[in-house]
Amino acid sequence: MKLILLGPPGAGKGTQAEVLTKQLGVETISTGVMLRAAMRDGTELGKLAKKYIDDGKLVPDEVVVGIVKERLSQDDCKNGFILDGFPRTIAQAEALDAAGIEIDKVLSLEVSDEVIIKRLAGRRECKKCGTPYHVINKPVPEDGKCICGGEVIQRPDDNEETIKNRLKVYHEQTEPIKAYYESRGKVISIDSSHSVERTNEAALKALGLVKQEQ
Ligand code: AMP
């Protein structure tokens, strides 16, 4: 299964990817997690990415396309993968096509801007491995640390002003991708405004992995 998770920031792409990766038995490739790891490691890529991420802007296409192509060429992606946060522009979607990477399905997680703004305020993330948490929906373990032992933090780009920028960027630059894949008959849309479990159930049904209720 070669799956793209599409949706605005805070739609639950990372959270669903974490569950689906185990259910489908394929790796998740998250550009956000990769870019934040590069920022943490202080690499050239990380320094460049920081300039955009801190303002809620998109990192240039050629940079992101380069790291995704490199990652997808590795052995553990041979039998499938889940893309979380990529593609985010039509040019990125076209780059996948040009590289001969055929996507099976695009799962579009639908949620209103209002719900997103509320959700992102409570969102937390492991600084070390990127596992997502939420103060209400998915609390951090009792010792305050991630399951990997890493420190759990609030992402600096989850502040109100940056969230608004990210939503604007999403509507202007990322949402058109939906039509791009719709015209190829790849899109399945699910409501992602409820619990993690309910969204996951909807995802599995939409992907034909559990029987539809009669
Ligand atoms: P995310 O963790 O997916 O919300 O991504 C956080 C930030 O990383 C975004 O706001 C962008 O600045 C950057 N980013 C992640 N994925 C991409 C992408 N595919 N293209 C451009 N920028 C990206």
| Pocket residues: Cβ below 6 A from ligand 1 | 9, 31-32, 35, 52-53, 56-59, 64, 85-86, 88, 92, 157, 166
Which atom of ligand 1 is nearest to 88's Cα? 19
- Measured between alpha carbons, how far is 149 from 89 in angstroms, rounded to an integer? 35
Neighbours of 59 (CB within 10 A): 19
Residue ID of nearest Cα to ligand 1 atom 2? 32
**Best of 88, 133, 173 for a ligand 1 pocket test (most atoms within 8 Å of beta carbon):** 88
175 CA to middle of ligand 1, Å? 14
Whole-number pLDDT of residue 139: 94
Neighbours of 78 (CB within 10 A): 11
Which atom of ligand 1 is nearest to 9's Cα? 4
* Residues recognised as catalytic: 13, 88, 123, 155, 166
The two three-digit tokens of residue 70, written as one number: 């490199």
Q: What are the residues facing 124 on neighbouring strands?
A: 133
- Measured between alpha carbons, how far is 9 from 166 in angstroms, rounded to an integer? 7
176 CA to middle of ligand 1, Å? 16
Which atom of ligand 1 is nearest to 13's Cα? 3
Whole-number pLDDT of residue 212: 55
pTM: 0.91
Residues of the chain with pLDDT under 50: none
54 CA to middle of ligand 1, Å? 10
CA torsion 27-145-143-155 (nearest 10°) is -110
Is residue 30 helix, strand or coil?
strand
- Measured between alpha carbons, how far is 18 from 137 in angstroms, rounded to an integer? 15
30 CA to middle of ligand 1, Å? 9
76 CA to middle of ligand 1, Å? 23
